[in-house]
Structure 1
Amino acid sequence: MKHLFVTSSFLLLSYAVRGQQSSLSTELPITNVATVVLKLDGYPDFLVPDNNNVWITNVKRIDKLSPTTNKPILSVPVPEPCGAMAVGFGAVWVANCSDKSIYRIDRLTGKLVAKIPTGLADKHGELSLAVGDGSVWVLSDSTGILARIDPKTNKLQATIRVLPFSYCVAFGYGAVWITNTGQGKNRPGAGTNAGSVQRIDPQTNKVVVTIPTGMVPRFLAVGENGVWTLNQGDGSVSRIDPYTNKLIATIDVKATGLGGDIAAGAGKVWVRGNKTVFLATINPKTNSVDKRYGPISGSGAVRVTNDKSVWISSHDINTVWIIKP
C-alpha cells in the first residue's frame, strides 16, 4: 500500500438517484446512481460503519465521515493504519502496520485510548478485525494465530491456533469466522490450492470446523443468511450456511486479483473488485449476480451502514461513493 499525500481536502457532490434496473449485460455507471460522491486527498481505503457514518483509513490518519457534511467529523492520527477496522465497546479499533499493534480510539472524541501489541499476520495490511462476544479479534501471526483482546483491560486474553496463512476475521451467528488462503503464500498469486473458512467457538476458543471454499479466500462478510468469502484466486464468492457449516453455493463474480472487499447488508451481498470488477451485487435468494456497477476504478472497500446506505471507496482515484439500494 503506497501512501502518497499527507494533507487532506474533502469535497461533497450530490447526484439524483436513478431508479434503473440492471441486467448482467448492463453496467450501471456509479456516478449516475450515487447519492453522494466524496473526493478526498490521500489514500482513502478501508471502511467500517459507525451507525449511519463511516470511518476510513487514510495516510497517517483515520477519518470519520458523514453523508451530510462537507468535511470529516473527526480526523485521528495513526502512523500507518491498515486493514479493515472494527467498531465496538465505544471505540474504533484499527491495525497499525508500522508497529504491528491494535489502536483503540474513542469513537466520539477521537482520543487514543490504548495501543495493544498483538502482531499482525499480514505485514501488507490486507487483513480485517472483528468484534463479538465481548472481545476484539485479530489474526496476529501468519503461522496461524488468532488473538483475542479483552476490551475491559485492553490486553490479550487468549491466543488460538488456526490454520496458517489466515488474515481476515468476522463475527456473526454466535461464532468467529476466519479465512485461510490455502496456497501457502502471504499474497495470492501462483497458488492453485483451494482455501477454507474456519469456525471458532468463542465459548471454548476452539476451532469447530474447517470448511473448503474457492481459491485464495481473503476478505469475508457475515450476514444475509450466510458467511461469504471473496476468493481472490478465481474471482468467485463462496457462501457457507452458518447453521449447517456447509458450503452451499459458489458464485462466479469474476472478481479476480489482489485487493477487493465484500460486505453483506441491505438485502444484498456487495463485492468490490479491483481490475476486473468495480462493484457487483449478489442476490442471496438466488445466489446469482444481479447488478454490476462501473467503470473499473482500482481497488477499495465496501460497507453497509445502519440506514442501509452502501459506501464504496477507491484509493486509486481518491473517491468515496454512497448509494441507496
Structure 2
Amino acid sequence: MTSINHRKARGARFAIAASLIASGAIAATSTRGQQATPPAAAPSRPPKVVRTGVTTSGVARPLSDLKPETIYTVEGSPDWSVATKDAVWVSSARVNHVVQLLPSTGKPGLIATVQRPCSGLAYGWGSVWVPSCGTHQLVRLDEATGNVIAEIPADPANSEGGITVGDESIWMVVKPSMLVRVDPNTNTVVSNLELPTASENPAFGDGFVWISSFGHDQLLKIDPKLNKVIATIPVGPKPRFLTIGAGSVWTLNQGDGTISRVDMKTDKLVATIACGIPGEGGEITFGAGSVWTALFDFPLTQVDATNNLPVRQWAGKGGDGVRFGFGSVWLSNLMQGTVWRISPDQK
C-alpha cells in the first residue's frame, strides 16, 4: 500500500511540473549531465501496537468488575512500588516524589523528594533504594523518616530498568549495560560486570541474579560469588520486566505480550503464556500463587502458577505498575494518579 501511494504521489508531481512548463510558468532546464535527485521518502512510522488481550472465554472482564479494598490518591504519576515492613512506597516521577502508603490507615504517609525516580524501587537494611534518572545516582532513603541517607553514583541504564536485593547486596544495572553490586554497609559499588547490550532488569532468586536481556530475547543467570554469567536462556521476544515465584523466573515480553516461565533449577523454559499485552511499559509481580501483570488498557492480568493459564484479565483505563505485598495486589494507575490495594480473591 505504501509503494502504490508513493507512485501515485510521484506521478501527480510530474504532471503538475509538466503543466507549469507548458504554460510558461516555469522554464524548462536541461538536466543533461546532472544527477537526478530522487524524491524524499516519507518518514516511516513504527507499526501501531495492537493489544488483543486474552480471548479465552470467561477470562476477560471490564475494569469496573475489579473491586479495590483501598484507593490511595498520589500526586503526579504513581508507578514503581516496593513493600517494606509496614508500608508500600511508590515513585511519582512527574513531581519528583517517592510516597509512603500506609496499609494500617489506608492513607499516604511520608513523602521523600528524589529527582525523577525511575528504574524500580528496592527495600533492605531499613531503607528504600531509589534509582534517580534526574541525578544519575542511587538514592538511599531512611524508611522511618524519608530522609536521604546516601547518594551513590550509579546512572540507571534504562528508565524501564530495575533494581533488586540479594546476597547481602543491592544490584542495579547502570549505563551502558553494567551490573553493579552495592555494599549497604559502606554505600559503595564493590563489583561490576559487563552485560550484553540492552540487558537491564535484575531480580534475585534461588541465590542467583537473573537479568532479562531485552536486546537478545534471553534471560541471564549470574552467580554472585563468581560475578559471572553462568547460563543464557532463550525466552520470548523483548523480555523486560521479571519476577520470582513458584520456583521460577517469569518474564513479561514486550515483543508479543507473552509471559515466559523459566525453571530456576534446570534453567529451562517450561512455559510460554499468551496474554495479548505487547508494547512498552507495564510490570509483573508474584503473590498468592499467581503471576500479576499491569499494562495500560489491560491494568491487571492474573496467571495461575499451577497450570500456567491466564484466569482473569481486566480491561479499561488504568495500570502500569504492580507489586504484591501485605496479602494484596498494589496496582499503580499512572495516568489516573491513584494506587489501588486489591484482594487477590477476586470473583
* Aligned twin of 2:112: 76
What is the count of residue pairs matched by the alignment? 287
Q: When you count helix as a share of all residues, which structure comes out higher?
A: 2
1: distance between equivalents of 2:79 and 2:295? Answer: 13
Task: Report the TM-score, using the length of structure 1 for normalisation.
Answer: 0.84
* Aligned twin of 1:212: 234
1:28 is displaced (CA, Å) by 5.0
1:37 counterpart SS class: strand
1: distance between equivalents of 2:257 and 2:182? Answer: 32
Give runs of aligned pairs for residues 227-246 of structure 1, distance below 5 A: 227-246=249-268
Work out whether 1:176 is the aligned partner of 2:195: no
CA contact under 8 A between 1:23 and 1:290: conserved in structure 2? Answer: no
* Aligned twin of 1:6: none
CA contact under 8 A between 2:132 and 2:155: conserved in structure 1? Answer: no
* C-alpha RMSD of matched pairs (Å): 1.6
CA contact under 8 A between 2:284 and 2:292: conserved in structure 1? Answer: yes
Structure 1 residues 111 and 41: CA distance shift in structure 2, 3 A: closer
CA contact under 8 A between 1:264 and 1:270: conserved in structure 2? Answer: yes
Select the residue among 323, 332, 347 that pairs with 1:303.
323
Task: Report the TM-score, using the length of structure 2 for normalisation.
Answer: 0.79
1:64 is displaced (CA, Å) by 0.6
* Aligned twin of 2:342: 323
* Aligned twin of 2:121: 85
1:252 is displaced (CA, Å) by 0.4
1: distance between equivalents of 2:207 and 2:66? Answer: 39
Work out whether 1:167 is the aligned partner of 2:197: no
Structure 2, unmatched stretches of 5+, are 1-55
* Aligned twin of 1:35: 69
Select the residue among 238, 261, 272 that pairs with 2:283.
261
Q: Which amino acid aligns with 2:198?
A: F
2: distance between equivalents of 1:30 and 1:46? Answer: 23
Q: Which amino acid aligns with 1:249?
A: A
1: distance between equivalents of 2:96 and 2:104? Answer: 24
Q: What is the identity percentage for the equivalent residue pairs of Structure 1 and Structure 2?
A: 38
1:167 is displaced (CA, Å) by 1.5
Q: Which amino acid aligns with 2:192?
A: T
CA distances 1:265-296 after superposition (whole Å, capped 9, x unpaired): 11110011224x22111111101101112323
Structure 1 residues 295 and 171: CA distance shift in structure 2, 3 A: same
1:89 is displaced (CA, Å) by 1.3
1:37 is displaced (CA, Å) by 1.6
2: distance between equivalents of 1:252 and 1:245? Answer: 21
CA contact under 8 A between 2:60 and 2:315: conserved in structure 1? Answer: no
Deviating runs (4+, > 4 A) in structure 1? Answer: none
